[in-house]
Structure 1
C-alpha cells in the first residue's frame, strides 16, 4: 500500500501542475515539449486530459493493491502493466524533449512513476485479506 500512496501523491502533484498549466501559469517550459511558457488552448486541453488519465491511473493502482474492488482482478493486473508501459514511455518522451527544464524535472518524475507502477503491477503492497 505504501507504493500506491506514493504513486497517488506523485500523480496528485502532477495533476496540480497540469491544472496550473490549464489556468495559464507560465510553466509551459516544463511540459509538452517546452515550446511555450504559457500553453496554447490545444495543449491546455491536453493538460485536462492528463489530469483525467492521472485519476484513472490512481484508481487502478488502488484497485490493484486491494484497497477497494472496482474492476475484476485480472483487469486491474493487466491495466497496471499498461500503466507501467505508459510511465516507462514517459521517461523516453521526457528525455528527448528539447526543453532542458522539462528533461531535468520530468524525467525523474517519470522514473518514479515507472518504478512505483512496476512494483504495484508486480503485486507488491497488496493488502492482506482477512480470513
Structure 2
C-alpha cells in the first residue's frame, strides 16, 4: 500500500481495505438497491410467534370488547319486560342482551369441549392401536 493511500484513508475515516475511488484503476463502489434482492443480502427472517404473543393479542381483543360492551350498556339503560319459562321481570335492555349473549357463549363452550374431548379420545385410541 502506498503512503498516499494510507494517509487519505486515515483522513476520510474509511478503512484501508476499502478501495478508494480516487485511485486510478480502482473499481467503483457498489450501491445497494433495497428493491433489488442481492445474493449477498439475506432477507430478514420473521420473528416467530409465541404463546405470550398470542396471549397479548387475546388480552387486547378482550379489553376492546369490554370497552364496546360498556358503551353498549350505558346507551341501552331502558327497562324492558322479559318472560322466560315461569319467570317474569323487568330488566335493563343491555342486561337482558348480555345475559342472552353469555348463555350462547356457555352453550358454545359446552359443545366445543365435547368435540375436543371426542377428538382427543379418537387420537388416543389410534395411538394405542399402533
Which bin holds the TM-score, normalised by the shorter protein?
Answer: under 0.3
Q: Which has the higher helix share?
A: 1
Q: Which has the higher strand share?
A: 2
TM-score (normalizing by structure 2): 0.26
Structure whose CA Rg is larger: 2
Whose RCO is larger (CA < 8 A, sep 6+)? 1
